[in-house]
Amino acid sequence: MSRTGRVFSLLLVVALIMSVFALGGCATEQPAEEPTGEGTTTPASEIKLIEPGKLLVGSDTAFPPFESMNGDVAEGFDVDLMNAIGEKLGLKVEFKTEIFDTLISTLQAGGKFDVIASGMTIKPDRQELIDFTDPYYDSNQSIAMKKGSTYTGPEDLAGKKIGVQSGTTGEAWAKESIKDAQLVPFKNATDAFAALAAGNVDAVVNDLPVTTELLKQDDRGLEIVAQIPTGEQYGFGVSKDNPGLTAAINKALAELKADGTYAEIYKKWFGIEPPAE
Ligand code: ARG
């Protein structure tokens, strides 16, 4: 064999050995498709959880009908949906109450909860920090004032005291759309409405479905004076380090939409069929 021939065959052997290793490596990286619960084949190995077998959920549980506390039990649309997702994934679901404004940083820090379910709007600045699942609810903003107030447009609120929940899209809308607004941030929506009833703020900007729910059985003389079509979509928040969990929740969500469970939960909390996709 010529010298080039020998070098060539040596290279060939090296290449062969390397490809065998590469294949072997591939095979072990492939997660085992073991069922993690009823009716799902999501690979368990890809989902990172703080506590094995448990999905810990961070939420500001003062946001009905999405999440609120009934004694020490969380209830609402997000809670039922998250429980149904947990069932699909073979995981026990546990809600942990957190202030809305600190949900994202707490999720990023890790160790407290695996997912955010808190009527959280998917938006680009948040997507830089965390991942969101597919959207699960379409929402808009609203303005509430004392009954009998006149409201023809945001200019009527110029320079007025506007109650908002800290860190929300309602706060962002008020900041952008109301000239010289004196924003008064509250840690939750219910506190903002208490301030409105007490006359400490002139208006409250908050997600429409929640304001509708909060004012439903309210005798403090408050009303929705405007609906603001912001076209928001809620998603569940997951750490960027946990794409397996995002994928698993998306898969479960799609299954729940297909099998009618999503529609059932939607009707339970909103009294109407979910909008067509
Ligand atoms: N959708 C709004 C946002 O993402 C408000 C959400 C507030 N949620 C809550 N559970 N307090 O900013």
229-259 confidence digits (pLDDT tens): 999 999 999 999 999 999 999 999 999 999 9
CATH, residue 255:
3.40.190.10
Same domain for 89 and 147, yes or no, is no
Q: Is 151 part of a structural domain of the chain? A: yes
Q: Name the pTM for this structure.
A: 0.84
Q: Does 121 sit in the ligand 1 pocket, CB within 6 Å?
A: yes
Percent of the chain residues topping a pLDDT of 70: 84
Average pLDDT over residues 223-227: 98
Atom of ligand 1 nearest to the CA of 188: 11
Same domain for 58 and 128, yes or no, is yes
Same domain for 171 and 263, yes or no, is no
Q: Is 42 part of a structural domain of the chain? A: yes
Same domain for 165 and 98, yes or no, is no
- Tell me which of 189 and 30 has the higher pLDDT: 189
80-122 confidence digits (pLDDT tens): 999 999 999 999 999 999 999 999 999 999 999 999 999 999 9
| Among 165, 149, 168, residue whose Cα is nearest residue 157 | 149
Same domain for 89 and 179, yes or no, is no
Same domain for 120 and 41, yes or no, is yes
22-74 confidence digits (pLDDT tens): 444 443 444 444 444 455 444 545 899 999 999 999 999 999 999 999 999 99
Helix (H) or strand (E) holding 207: strand 203-207
Q: Are 240 and 140 in contact (CB under 8 A)?
A: no
| pLDDT score, position 81 | 98
Same domain for 154 and 208, yes or no, is yes
Confidence of residue 20 (pLDDT cuts 50, 70, 90): very low
Same domain for 112 and 56, yes or no, is yes
Domain count, the chain: 2
Confidence of residue 4 (pLDDT cuts 50, 70, 90): very low
| Among 78, 238, 225, 251, residue whose Cα is nearest residue 151 | 225
Residues spanned by the domain of 78: 35-136+235-270
Same domain for 130 and 243, yes or no, is yes
- Report residue 262 as tokens: 């999503």
Q: Does 242 sit in the ligand 1 pocket, CB within 6 Å?
A: no
Q: Does 76 sit in the ligand 1 pocket, CB within 6 Å?
A: no
Same domain for 242 and 124, yes or no, is yes
Same domain for 164 and 105, yes or no, is no
Own/partner pairs, 197-201, CB within 8 angstroms, 24+ separation? 197/221, 197/222, 199/146, 200/161, 200/163, 201/161, 201/162, 201/163
